[in-house]
Amino acid sequence: MARGSPDWHKSVGITPEGDSLSIYAQPPIWWQENFDNPVLKWRMQSGVGEITTLPGDTDYNGGVFSGSGALAMTTDGGLDAYANTLLPSMPTTTYQGFSTVFMTRDLGDFSDSSFGIMPFRLDWYTGTRYKEAGVTYNPRSGNWYIWEQPSGAPVLLGKYGVQRWGWHYVKIVFNPVTSYYVSLRIDNNFIDISDRKCYDVSSDGYSSTQVAVYCKADTGDEVTVWFDNLTATYGES
């Protein structure tokens, strides 16, 4: 703990004025997928998914954001690509964060709907409740959506357009106990969503956590989305 900082505050030091540098502190990571393993350990429910190890360019390949691999998902003809994987049980004592980076190419080839791209959706069972938290994006309109109570489906949040052929960062922070969101970051856009609640319904039987990614093409078109560095953190604020 940096000298002069309160013992309850994340900090990497203090400024010359004596303020805590908590904004620079990295919350602990409890799960991460960077696709550097040559074997794809995700279940492809539909579409085609593979680990690419090629560098990115502006013609054919989204490539790798960092490390040696990234997930490339492709579909066409109005169909979708959907993949998911199991995570360890989610810590429930502090605010959670979940983030990823993604890249795509021709925005007009995606489905003109809230399901154009789903950078991620977390599903978790607590033993008594089933909950969902995540975001989706319509590349054609620039609209973003979050999974929200009570619909259990994407609900319009706002328009934050992103460009093709560039990596884009998306992160949500949420409280897994109360099921309320805290914030959403889309590149350099920080959005307060503390009045929005994750999908949360009664359930029983078991405890598990999974994450899914998704994209859908327009009729007659083919789309590819590259995902990298999916990261789950705790101790967020």
Closest among 179, 181, 175, 185 to 193, alpha carbons compared: 181
Confidence label for 25 from pLDDT (cuts 50, 70 and 90): low
Residue-level pLDDT at 57:
60
Q: How many CB atoms lie within 10 A of CB 78?
A: 12
Residue-level pLDDT at 1:
41
Does the residue 72 lie in any domain?
yes
Q: Residue 121 sits in which domain range?
A: 27-236
Does the residue 166 lie in any domain?
yes
* Residue 204, token pair as written in the block: 């029983």
Does the residue 3 lie in any domain?
no
Q: Say whether pLDDT at 175 is over 50.
A: yes
Q: Say whether pLDDT at 66 is over 90.
A: no
Q: Say whether pLDDT at 54 is over 80.
A: no
DSSP state at residue 23: G
- Tell me if 40 sits within 8 A of 81, measured CB to CB: no
Residue-level pLDDT at 60:
54
pLDDT tens by residue, 106-142? 899 999 999 999 999 999 999 899 999 999 999 999 9
For residue 102, the domain's CATH number is 2.60.120.200
The residue ranking higher by pLDDT, 2 or 156, is 156
Residue-level pLDDT at 139:
95
Does the residue 13 lie in any domain?
no
Q: Say whether pLDDT at 10 is over 50.
A: no
Does the residue 15 lie in any domain?
no
* Residue 164, token pair as written in the block: 């093709």
Average pLDDT, integer, range 92-111: 91
Average pLDDT, integer, range 15-23: 51
Concatenated DSSP letters of 78-131? T-EEEEEEEEPPPP-SSEEEEEEEEEES-GGGB-SSTTSEEEEEEEEEESSEEE
How buried is 94 (Cβ within 10 angstroms: 0-12 exposed, 13-18 middle, 19+ buried)? middle
The residue ranking higher by pLDDT, 21 or 199, is 199
- Tell me if 196 sits within 8 A of 181, measured CB to CB: yes
Does the residue 8 lie in any domain?
no
Q: In angstroms, rounded to a whole number, what is the distance separating the alpha carbons of residues 187 and 153?
A: 23
Residue-level pLDDT at 4:
44
| Average pLDDT of the chain to the nearest whole number | 86
Query: What's the pTM?
Result: 0.86
Cα 2 to Cα 9, 10, 23, 29, 106: the distances in Å are: 10, 9, 14, 21, 47
pLDDT tens by residue, 148-162? 988 888 999 999 988
Q: In angstroms, rounded to a whole number, what is the distance separating the alpha carbons of residues 163 and 106?
A: 9
Does the residue 157 lie in any domain?
yes
Q: Please, which residues bridge with residue 199 across strands?
A: 132
Residue-level pLDDT at 14:
54
Cα 224 to Cα 46, 92, 116, 157, 216: the distances in Å are: 13, 34, 11, 24, 9
Q: In angstroms, rounded to a whole number, what is the distance separating the alpha carbons of residues 65 and 119?
A: 15
Count of structural domains, the chain: 1
Which residues fall within 8 angstroms of residue 109, CB to CB, at 6 or more apart? 217, 218, 221, 222, 223
Residue-level pLDDT at 38:
75
Q: Say whether pLDDT at 196 is over 90.
A: yes
Does the residue 20 lie in any domain?
no
Residue-level pLDDT at 16:
52
Average pLDDT, integer, range 76-92: 92
Q: In angstroms, rounded to a whole number, what is the distance separating the alpha carbons of residues 52 and 75?
A: 16
Confidence label for 27 from pLDDT (cuts 50, 70 and 90): confident
Average pLDDT, integer, range 212-226: 95
